Structure 1
Amino acid sequence: MTLMSFARDHVMDVYRYAERKGAIEAIEVAAADLGIDVGEMREAVCHLVDSRLLRPDDGAGERYAPVDPELAAASLVSTVEREIYRRRELIDQIKERVGLVRPSPEASRSTVDYLVGAMEVRGFLKTASDACRDEVLVLQGGGVVGDLSETYLDLLARGVTVRIICQHRNRADIGTRMRMKRLTDAGASVYTVSHVPRSATVFDRSLVVLFGADDTEANVARVHNQGIAQFFLDLFNHLWETATPLEGIDFGYAGVADDLQQSIAVLMAKGYTDEVVARKLGMSVRSCRRHIATMMRDLDATSRFQAGVQAARKYLTAE
């Protein structure tokens, strides 16, 4: 048995020792306490450091503090994801140079590929964010989209402009509102609208990331096409002009009640049920019914359909 394999037999003993003591203060002392050879102790410590389960805790590198296993695993996954996409981008560059992916200028203007799975998606978004230099535009709708607030905070810290359009429903969720407050405090501009049809992100006005609508698994399409990018830029700017800025930390729909009621009225006038209206606007059925009840009371309507028609006509006339 080699020294390395023998030392790894002691890895868990060394980690538990560090947890019990709060830290490994000195290699020699810890080796004596555990009754193992100093060389084996050093090998076990090196293995734990490589696994992110121990971290050097002083300038000399002789004191090692234990790291929570979940944090260690997350750190390793992040490193692996970044390396995967660094290599993917390198492969794409090599293929481009030899003409296997983009054999002509026409082909180079339009490329679309798809990524499926949380690890693939997170790794790609990390790579795209690292490469971003000027501006990120975010349409935050439904679908499987993880919380990217930390990514946006990193971009803001680097001086990248971040503008986000999300749905009014985010105003009523305390956890989401607190995350958005952190973003606005860091310099992001966050606006809300009644409905965002699909989640998408545009990096530096050129790379479009379109998030899938599948609620079971994270998936994205990344599009390198200037025409498509311009379409999303135009869509974003159109929504931005009609959206309501998120200000302060107050929760609820008070600042966007008229906009919500207008959207609800249009859908009611088309005969949709409460459940369908709520789903289309990304809000709870209970909140939707509360808005409908208020609308019916204000309009003195005797039915949902009558209220929808009257309200839709009212808002159309107001415009």
Structure 2
Amino acid sequence: MATSETKRTHPHALTAMCDEGRRLYGNALRTGRIARDDVESAPCLMEFALLHPDPDDDKWLRPVPPSIALAQRVNPIEHEITQHRRLSMELAEAFEPFMALSAQVSATTHSITVLEGIDRINAALDLATAQCQSEMLTVQPSRRRLEHTLVQGLERDRPLIERGCRIRTLYQHTARHSPETLAYVAQFASGKVEYRTIDELVGRLIICDETVAFIPISDDGQVALELRHPGLVRYLVKFFEFMWDRAVPLSAGAPYETAPDGITEIQHSIAKLLIEGHVDEAIARRLGMNVRTCRAHIAKLASALGSGSRAQLGYLIAQSGILRQEP
């Protein structure tokens, strides 16, 4: 019989049957049986159930047909594979709702892109403008436009006009006194371009084909958001249309003409901000003018209402009813 020491020194997997085991199993298949003493050097033959006792003589062993031996070894493996496959399918079904949710979150995340740095912002704007086929909407708060920014704007917008795209741009009223802005506007006088002005703008906005929008998120203009979420873009388009309907064509002179009450539209805007408690610097910033110009308008407003002090001016504005005359 095989000793425990023999078993310890003869371990191997069935797929790597030792040479002695293969030889003895082959002999058993050829002769139909093999002496029990002859297989003591290959105990794996009994461990792997490749031999079984001879029912007529316990000194002999008979070989198990290889097809049966193979099935006995393969069937448990296939059963285990089937169990793992069933488990994997159950796991996939359990996680399917979360995968769909993850896909939605991923889509939402990618629909809002943070752009850091002027170069990256301009590259994204250039790409969106190049892909624009119908209309571009822009909101440009008034500020002094440097020569290089004008050149960039011209290079970006001219191909749009040549493709027949429409451009609508909103400026603040103060843009009417900006030589740089007026020179830029004059470049596109013959295109499908419209310019209007309004007293107050919150911030810069660019929308292309109602599919992508750009808004700044830092005061220095170094960080912007590229928005491709349909709901957000639609909201910004509605916001633009709301301001556009209340704006005045750039060719008109109405914003600075004196109304019957002796107060210009820009002074009406200043009066509204004064009543809200804004200081001169904040009013100037929101209306796109320098503080000196803002204070000049405040002085004219005070003169028109007969005010002798800042405190009295606020009272007179409230009592005069000029703000209720706004359309």
1:158/1:305 CA distance change after superposition, 3 Å: farther
- Please name the residue that 2:251 is paired with: 247
Give 2:214's match in structure 1, choosing from 205, 209, 213. Answer: 209
How far 1:306 moved relative to its partner?
2.9
8 A Cα contact 1:143 1:213, kept in partner: no
Give 1:195's match in structure 2, choosing from 200, 214, 231. Answer: 200
Q: Which amino acid in structure 1 is aligned with residue 299 of structure 2?
A: A
How far 1:141 moved relative to its partner?
2.4
Q: How many residues align?
A: 216
Q: Which amino acid in structure 2 is aligned with residue 254 of structure 1?
A: Y
- Please name the residue that 1:318 is paired with: 325
Quick one: percent identity of the two aligned structures?
Answer: 25
8 A Cα contact 2:201 2:286, kept in partner: no
1:154/1:195 CA distance change after superposition, 3 Å: same
8 A Cα contact 2:206 2:215, kept in partner: yes
Is 1:269 aligned with 2:275? Answer: yes
CA distance in 2, matches of 1:142, 1:191: 12
CA distance in 2, matches of 1:255, 1:207: 37
Matches within 5 A, 1:1-319: 104=103, 107-108=106-107, 111-141=111-141, 146-147=149-150, 148-215=153-220, 217-247=221-251, 254-255=256-257, 258-311=264-317, 314-319=321-326
Match of 2:187, SS state, is helix
Q: Which amino acid in structure 2 is aligned with residue 225 of structure 1?
A: H
8 A Cα contact 1:163 1:190, kept in partner: yes
CA distance in 2, matches of 1:207, 1:214: 21
With normalisation by structure 2, the TM-score equals 0.59
Match of 2:272, SS state, is helix
Q: Which amino acid in structure 2 is aligned with residue 318 of structure 1?
A: Q
Match of 2:235, SS state, is helix
8 A Cα contact 2:143 2:288, kept in partner: no
How far 1:303 moved relative to its partner?
1.9
8 A Cα contact 1:138 1:164, kept in partner: yes
How far 1:220 moved relative to its partner?
1.7
1:132/1:182 CA distance change after superposition, 3 Å: same
8 A Cα contact 2:128 2:208, kept in partner: yes
Q: Which amino acid in structure 2 is aligned with residue 178 of structure 1?
A: A
Q: Which amino acid in structure 2 is aligned with residue 226 of structure 1?
A: P
With normalisation by structure 1, the TM-score equals 0.60
How far 1:309 moved relative to its partner?
4.2
CA distance in 1, matches of 2:251, 2:143: 25
CA distance in 2, matches of 1:255, 1:247: 13
Match of 2:307, SS state, is coil
CA distance in 1, matches of 2:306, 2:312: 10
Cα offsets for 1:134-166 (capped at 9, x unmatched): 011111127999442432222111111100111
8 A Cα contact 1:140 1:166, kept in partner: yes
Q: Which has the larger radius of gyration?
A: 2
